Amino acid sequence: MTVHIEEEQIDAPVSISLDGLNYNTDNSSLVLYEITAKGEKFVPSQLEPGHSARIWFILEGISAKNSIRNFILKREEGAQKQEPKVALQKNHKDLHFKVNEKPVLNYRFATTYPPEGINPLFKRSGFIHPLWSPGGEVLSRIQPPDHYHHYGIWGPWTKTHIGEREVDFWNLIKGQGTVRFASFLSQTEGAVFSGFKALQQHIDFGAPGGDQVAMSEILDVRVWSVSEKVWVIDYTTTLNSPLPDGIMLDAYRYGGGIGFRATEKWHKNNCSVLTSDGKTRADADGSFARWCMVKGESNTEKGQSGILFLSHPSNRMHPEPMRVWPPDANGGRGDMYFEFVPIRHENWKLEALQDYTLKYRMIVFDGAIDAATAEKYWNSFAKIPEINLIKK
């Protein structure tokens, strides 16, 4: 097969459809090789069955603009099983992701209550925390005393309307709604990625006749097996309203696909923001971007860590509006909060029984990533190479 790269990319996860191949009943295994000047080089690959089965692999390293890379997919009997590089471990409250015992992230599926003496309305489940940098720095924060409803990395839908009623699924103290983990739909370990799909329910407390599910959400999180120096994490959320008249997501400065409350270590004097349009903490709020990089001081060897947030071109309102706390936020301390907000400037009506998907990728790093490298990562997420499969 040939892979045509239109824009410069770096460590890009890609896939090709296996429709037409009998991958279920054949006794041999599918094994992928890259054709290089030195011969065939083994490439880890991973089958993802489904409505349209695909095989995933990583275009390792930097792929130049307008370049071509050649691969061959073989059937091999007795091929050695490709071991997962990202391990999943589950206990009574968290699903852990690890790379060679180094922690990557936890997904909290158990209900988490606020500290003793704080209103229990602030409890919730279904969020990512902690998120670690490759060097072991915890980057996320939950239940800060200034905002007990902040939960690490999560989808904070705020102002919504069901008919004439306002329902807030984020400001939990209002008692109008919440989000609950319902079940795991799948968990996957593989040579290219490990991840899970979870059903999360957005509960409306004020419905006539009792609580109701206003939105069902399928959260798909994948950690790609790229390296131990940079984490590449996909966060895909699909919303579906079972309500007969759907739900209105109101235009507001908060509310959207992915939100991030940063570690308490970060403040206006040691944390920075850079967007794809060159905006900083001083002027990023309310602007539009393809990507936004948030970084700050850390106790790692390189002295700083961060997250490059990527918005997919298929997302609503892409380039996507953002909420970025300015340097004088939180009483002047300048704590860090970031969110892609697809309803920042316009209402979004979710019609009944329709799927609406938002795709994000996080590049988690220690040290520094410059704007040119950020562009490569965004190209790797947004610009799918043309892949031609030649059967022999």
pLDDT band for position 390 (cuts 50, 70, 90): low
pLDDT tens digit string along 320-362?
999 999 999 999 999 999 999 999 999 999 999 999 999 999 9
CA distance 218 to 199: 5
Instruction: Residue 262: name the closest of 310, 301, 308, 296 by CA.
Output: 296
CA distance 391 to 21: 10
If one counts every other C-beta atom within 10 angstroms of the C-beta of residue 185, the result is 12
Q: Which residues contact 253 (CB under 8 A, 6 or more apart)?
A: 285, 286, 323, 341, 344
CA distance 380 to 62: 10
| Residue pair 70/1 in contact by the 8 Å Cβ criterion | yes
CA distance 81 to 78: 9
pLDDT of amino acid 344: 97
CA distance 93 to 316: 33
Q: Which residues contact 83 (CB under 8 A, 6 or more apart)?
A: 191
Structure token pair of residue 216: 């069902």
Quote the radius of gyration of the chain (alpha carbons, Å). 21
pLDDT tens digit string along 244-293?
999 999 999 999 889 999 999 999 999 999 999 999 999 999 999 999 99
CA distance 372 to 38: 30
| Residue pair 382/312 in contact by the 8 Å Cβ criterion | yes
| Residue pair 89/96 in contact by the 8 Å Cβ criterion | yes
Helix, strand, coil tally for the chain in percent (to 5) = 5, 50, 45
pLDDT of amino acid 388: 78
Structure token pair of residue 155: 């989808």
pLDDT of amino acid 391: 53
Average pLDDT across the chain, whole number = 95
Q: Coil, strand or helix: which one is 174? A: helix
Would you kindly state where each structural domain of the chain is located, as residue ranges?
Answer: 2-81, 86-382
Q: Which residues contact 197 (CB under 8 A, 6 or more apart)?
A: 184, 185, 186, 218, 219, 220
173 alpha-carbon distance from chain centroid: 27
Q: Which fold has domain 86-382?
A: Beta-galactosidase; Chain A, domain 5 (2.70.98)
pLDDT tens digit string along 11-31?
999 999 888 777 766 556 889
What percent of the chain is predicted at pLDDT more than 90?
90
Structure token pair of residue 105: 């992230």
78 CB-side CA count, 13 A: 0
Q: What is the mean pLDDT of residues 217-223?
A: 98
pLDDT of amino acid 108: 98
| Residue pair 176/185 in contact by the 8 Å Cβ criterion | no
Whether 111 shows a pLDDT value over 90: the answer reads yes
pLDDT tens digit string along 181-194?
999 999 999 999 99
On whether the pTM is more than 0.85, the answer is yes
User: Burial level of 317, CB count in 10 A (0-12/13-18/19+)?
Assistant: middle
CA distance 218 to 238: 5
Q: What is the mean pLDDT of residues 211-222?
A: 98
Whether 150 shows a pLDDT value over 70: the answer reads yes
Instruction: Residue 245: name the closest of 214, 200, 206, 217 by CA.
Output: 214
pLDDT of amino acid 157: 95
pLDDT of amino acid 386: 84
Q: What are the backbone angles phi and psi of residue 372, rounded to the nearest 5°?
A: -65, -40
